[in-house]
Amino acid sequence: MPKKIETKEKKPAIKAKKEVSATKEEKFVPTFLAPAKKVISQPEAREPEEVVNERVADEQVADESKEERNRSIFGSQVKQAEEEEPSEEKAVVQEGEAEQIDEAQSQPDNVQEAGQDESNNTSEAEEKVSFASLMNSSSAADEALGDRPGQQNKESKKGFYIIVGILVLVILVMAAVVVFNGSNNNGSSEVLASVDRLVQLPLGEEPLVGLVSDSEVLRGLDSSLHRFTANGDNLIVFRSANLVIVYRAQLNKIVNMGQISDPNTLLQSSAVVFEGLSPVTTDTSPVATVVPTTTEESLFIEIRNGTDASGITLQVQKELTGLSSAYSVSKRSTSDFRYEESFVLDLSAGENEAVQKLADSLGYPLRSELPDGEALPEDETVQAIVFIGSDRLE
Look at 21-25, 231-235, 383-387 and tell me which has the smallest mean pLDDT. 21-25
Residues 283 and 301 placed together within one structural domain of the fold: no
Please determine, for residue 130, whether its predicted confidence score (pLDDT) is greater than 60.
no
Domain carrying residue 323: 296-394
pLDDT of residue 378: 86
The rounded distance, in Å, linking the Cα atoms of 197 and 195 is 5
Residue 67's nearest CA partner among 97, 36, 105, 32 is: 105
Final residue before a domain boundary, out of 295, 317, 342:
295
Classify the phi-psi angles of 349: left when phi > 0, otherwise alpha if psi is within -120 to 50, otherwise beta: left
Flag whether 275 is in a domain.
yes
Residue 209 in domain? yes
Using CA atoms, how far apart are residues 345 and 122, in angstroms rounded to an integer? 129
Tell me if 99 is assigned to some domain: no
Whether 257 and 288 share a structural domain: yes
- Last residue of some domain: 271, 295, 319? 295
Q: What is the rounded (10 degree) CA torsion for 341, 344, 349, 351?
A: -140
- Strand partners of residue 245: 236, 257
Mean pLDDT of the chain: 71
Phi, psi of 389 (to 5 degrees): -105, 180
**Across 264-290, average pLDDT:** 55
Beta strands in 194-269, from DSSP E residues, in sequence order: 208-212, 234-238, 243-248, 253-259
> Which stretch of 164-168, 169-173, 285-289, 314-318 has the lowest confidence by average pLDDT?
285-289
What's the confidence (pLDDT) of residue 81? 63
Q: Are 260 and 288 members of one domain?
A: yes
Q: Does the pLDDT of residue 7 top 80, yes or no?
A: no
Same domain, 315 and 268: no
Residue 127 in domain: no
User: Which residue, of 295, 312, 342, is where some domain finishes?
Assistant: 295
Residue 362 neighbours by CB distance under 10 Å: 19
What's the farthest any 2 CA atoms get from each other in the chain? Answer: 195
Evaluate whether residue 236 is within a structural domain.
yes
Average pLDDT rounded to a whole number, residues 161-188: 72
pTM attached to this predicted model: 0.31
- Specify the CATH number for the domain of residue 386: 3.30.70
Q: Does 288 reside within a domain?
A: yes
Residues 306, 292 contacting (CB under 8 angstroms): no
Residue 302 has a pLDDT of 92
- Whether 291 and 301 map to the same domain: the answer is no
Kindly tell me if the per-residue pLDDT of 205 is higher than 70.
Answer: yes
In a domain, 196, yes or no: no
In this predicted structure, the answer to whether residue 343 has a pLDDT above a threshold of 90 is yes
Q: With 70 as the cut, is the pLDDT of residue 237 above it?
A: yes
Whether 341 and 381 map to the same domain: the answer is: yes
Co-location of 303 and 339 in the same domain: yes
Of 34-48, 231-245, 342-356, which range is least confident? Answer: 34-48
Q: How many separate domains does the chain show?
A: 2
- Residue 28 CA, chain-centre distance (Å), reads 93
How large a percentage of the chain has pLDDT more than 70?
58
Element (H, E) at 123: helix 114-198
What's the pLDDT band for 67 if we cut at 50, 70, 90? confident
Say yes or no: 260 and 300 in one domain. Answer: no
Residues 301 and 394 in one domain: yes
Report the amino acid identity of residue 208: L
pLDDT at residue 244 greater than cutoff 70: yes
* 306 and 356 both lie in a single domain: yes
Domain shared by 307 and 354, yes or no: yes
Q: Is it the case that residue 17 has pLDDT exceeding 50?
A: no
Please check whether residue 210 lies inside any domain of the structure: yes
Which residues have CB under 8 Å from 229's CB, separation 6+? 212, 215, 218, 219, 235, 246, 255, 256
308 and 256 belong to one structural domain: no
